[in-house]
Amino acid sequence: MLDLRPSPIAGTWYSGNPKTLAASLDEYLARAILPELKGQVIAVIAPHAGHRYSGAVAAHAFAALRGLQPDLVAIVSPYHNYDPHPLLTTAHDAYATPLGNISVDKAALADLQAKLPIPVTPIANDPEHSLEIELPFLQRIFSNEFKLLPIMIHAQEETVAKQLGEALAMVLRNKNAILVASTDLSHFKDQNTANTLDREMLKRFESLEPESIFEAERHEKGFACGHAAVAAVEWAAKGLGANRAQILNYATSGDVTGDYSSVVGYGAAVITK
């Protein structure tokens, strides 16, 4: 019997019905029109709101993975709840979604911990949505079975993100793996303010200079709730030879709801070498 992490968000953040969920994801992915992607895809950056709000944007990131068959997917997300530990992972053997179970690669986790001076603390029954929300997209875009390396960052600090990124690069080198960074952009600004802040943060993502992401946050030039997750993935991707980041799509919750007075920003990007 697999020790499964039960989903706390299926049926609310996305459909709990497997057929409805698969159909909605396939529709988002079919509508995602991408520019020509040059080079090998190393990583993607995707938003993590409920699929109704950010699914259309997220689909652009996952559409960039079409045709790939990775053995391992490393997802780095923020941890939105309180925990005293800087880095977290699941204590369970697999994640459950309505589309099936995804096994956690315990060997890769152990390897990561061996290469990382910061402890990665396993927790059971975590309520975190930002990692799980990406899983159904991966289950639809990949035709093969893959394993998961799930990391949630509570301490959104530059040193933590850099050490994590460098360790991930060492673990994933010579593996058939993909990296996913989970983040939303600015929160609860009016549409015009959000667009200005988000454009600046997306520019930092595209520069492939992870330090500049923290600089934007510090000086309030742009915001991303998963800024450390993106930075960690960019450091990892660069360690694996990546040299280009490309923004694929951007929208806000206002573009979905029609309420532009207080919005959340969503961006999708791909990182290649």
User: pLDDT tens-digit profile of 134-145?
Assistant: 999 999 999 999
> Model-level pTM?
0.97
pLDDT at 244: 97
How confident is the model over 18-65, as pLDDT tens digits? Answer: 999 999 999 999 999 999 998 999 999 999 999 999 999 999 999 999
How many Cβ atoms from other residues are within 10 Å of residue 191's Cβ?
A: 17
pLDDT at 116: 98
Report all structural domains of the chain as residue ranges with CATH numbers, in order of start: 4-272 (3.40.830.10)
Cα-to-chain-centroid distance, residue 117 = 23
The percentage of residues in the chain with a pLDDT greater than 90, rounded to a whole number, is: 99
Residue 2 reports pLDDT greater than 90: no
pLDDT at 1: 81
272: β partners:
41, 244
Give the residue-averaged pLDDT of 149-169: 98
Question: Residue 242 — very low, low, confident or very high, per pLDDT cuts 50/70/90?
Answer: very high
81, 76, 16, 85: which is closest to 48 by C-alpha? 76
pLDDT at 60: 98
Residue 78 reports pLDDT greater than 90: yes
Alpha-helical regions (H) of the chain: 18-31, 51-63, 106-115, 129-132, 135-141, 158-172, 191-207, 210-218, 227-239, 253-257
pLDDT at 187: 97
Cα-to-chain-centroid distance, residue 215 = 21
Which pair of tokens denotes residue 55?
């699914």
97: β partners:
100
CA dihedral sign of residues 130, 132, 133, 134: positive
The percentage of residues in the chain with a pLDDT greater than 70, rounded to a whole number, is: 100
Question: Residue 250 — very low, low, confident or very high, per pLDDT cuts 50/70/90?
Answer: very high
pLDDT at 216: 97
Spatial distance between the Cα atoms of 142 and 197, rounded to a whole number of angstroms: 33
